[in-house]
Every structure is written in structure tokens, then in C-alpha cells.
Amino acid sequence: MSLLTRNEAAGKIMVALDKPDAQAALELAERLQGFGCWMKVGMELFFAAGPAIVQELKSRGFRIFLDLKMHDIPNTVRGGARSITRLGVDLFNVHGAGGLAMMSAAAEGVQDALQAGDVEQAPLVIAVTQLTSTSQQVLNDEIGIPGDLENAVVHYAELARKAGLQGVVASPLEVAAVKKACGASFITVTPGIRPRWAEVGDQTRITTPRDALEGGTDYLVIGRPITGASKPEEALDTILKEMTQL
């Protein structure tokens, strides 16, 4: 594989802004401003700071992945997707476990907002397959889904594609299988990224940033290895070097 430029690699990174309030999040965003990464706003930040944090980050030029993992009846998810689309985010997710009708409703909610003229650009919608903290044993013995974890991920990916979604959240270990089943242009967004020098924490299905890139992922979601560092900009810089240098 040919190596990416630093800017190309940075454009594939989504920094998980898992911070308790707007001030902490914006301080961190400011330190990472020049890199050209996406920002991922998840539950911790959104539940504390609300939609205003999305507008603020957008006004600073960041592309936004809103990670609220909707999982509800189709009608509720359709309305939720409509509201999220109106916020002007670039990408958001729903749970594949909600099934085909629920994922189709998410896609319909996006169309509702477009047809109402609320926004001009449709966000990408992707489905969470199996959380990257879930191991094979937990999938089988606790969650109660039998069989191979990779097959479970591919099953949800195929359902997501059928529902008209544009991609999935999966671990970098399943990217090849997802692309094989759903096509090269079906987007893979992969958390579970751990440089060798970072703590693994609660993630179980992990690779290094370089391995994720070489495995063909479209986007790398990276939180604590960057956000937990005393100098987040240096951690991100190190990751970019690891991704782009021979």
C-alpha cells in the first residue's frame, strides 16, 4: 500500500471528544485545531453541553461525527434522525441491533429534513455492529448471540446496507470482511485503535493506527490515547508519524 500524506492521514482521524463539559471539549479542540481531524461528539459531551457544542465546533471548521447510537422503535429513530440532520452534522450512528426497519427509518428521517429544506447536505448514517469492547465470549455467553463475532458484525453490516445506510462502526479487525460483503465504498469507521504505547482500557478488539490503516479502514476513531495525554497535540502528532512514515 502507498503511504498517505500527513494531511490525508489526519483527515481519517476522528478524535473522540469524551469530555464532561463544553469548556473542556473546546480547550482540547483548540489544541488540535490545525491538524484537520474530525471531532466525534458522544454521549458524555452531548448530554452535558447539548446541540450548541455541535454548532460551536462546526463554526471552528471541524467535521462532526455525532455518536449517540440511537436504538429505539422506528418512528422514534426517524424523528431523532430528522433532528440530528437539522444540526448539520456530517455523520451520525444508530445501532444495527435495532433491525432493518429501524435503520431504514433513520435514513428516512434524513430525507425528511432534506425535503423540508432544513439542510442542504445529507449526513452519512452508519450502524454500530458489535461494540469494540465486546469479546467473542461476551457476545456468545452474555449477549446471547451464537457463532463467530466477525459473522455477527458482517450480518449487521449487510442489514445496514440493505436499509440504505452508508457504512458501519466496527473494529479494525473486521474491515476486510465488511468490505468483502458490502463493497469497497461501504464506509468503515473503526474505534478500538491503540498505539503500542497506549493503555488498552476497556477495548478488546484493537489494532494499532498503522495496522488499521493498512487493513483498509476509512476512518479511525481515537479517544483516550490522544485526549488522555498530557499533551494531546504531541500524541496526535506521534500517531500521524506512525501512520505515515516507513
Ligand X SMILES: O=C(O)c1cc(=O)[nH]c(=O)n1[C@@H]1O[C@H](COP(=O)(O)O)[C@@H](O)[C@H]1O
List, as residue ranges, the binding site for substrate.
Answer: 18, 40, 67-76, 132, 194, 203, 223-224
Q: Which amino acid is at 50?
A: G
Q: Which is nearer to ligand X, 113 or 206 (CB)?
A: 206
Select from 25, 225, 190 the least CA-distant residue to 237.
225
Residue 211 annotated among the catalytic residues of the structure: no
Q: Which is nearer to ligand X, 112 or 155 (CB)?
A: 155
Which of 128, 178, 187, 212 binds ligand X (CB under 6 A)? It is 128
Q: Which residue pairs from 27-32 have beta carbons closer than 8 angstroms and sit at least 24 positions apart in sequence? A: 28/227, 28/232, 29/57, 29/60, 29/62, 30/60, 31/232, 31/233, 32/226, 32/232, 32/233, 32/236
Nearest approach in angstroms of CB 200 to ligand X is 9
Which member of 12, 19, 21, 69 is catalytic? 69
Beta bridge partners of 188: 168
Tell me the number of residues near ligand X by CB under 6 A.
16
Residue 90 annotated among the catalytic residues of the structure: no
Q: Which is nearer to ligand X, 130 or 244 (CB)?
A: 130
Which of 172, 191, 215, 232 binds ligand X (CB under 6 A)? It is 191
Q: Does 152 bind ligand X (CB under 6 A)?
A: no
Which member of 12, 19, 21, 67 is catalytic? 67
Alpha helices in the chain (DSSP H): 6-10, 22-31, 43-49, 51-59, 74-86, 100-115, 136-138, 149-162, 175-182, 209-214, 224-227, 232-244
Q: Does 223 bind ligand X (CB under 6 A)?
A: yes
Q: Does 63 bind ligand X (CB under 6 A)?
A: no
- In angstroms, the CA 28 to CA 26 distance is 5
Q: Which is nearer to ligand X, 85 or 129 (CB)?
A: 129
- In angstroms, the CA 10 to CA 219 distance is 10
Contact 17, 25 (CB under 8 A): yes
Catalog residues that contact ligand X under the rule CB under 6 A: 16, 18, 42, 67, 69, 93, 128, 131-132, 169, 191, 203, 221-224
Catalytic residue numbers read 67, 69, 72
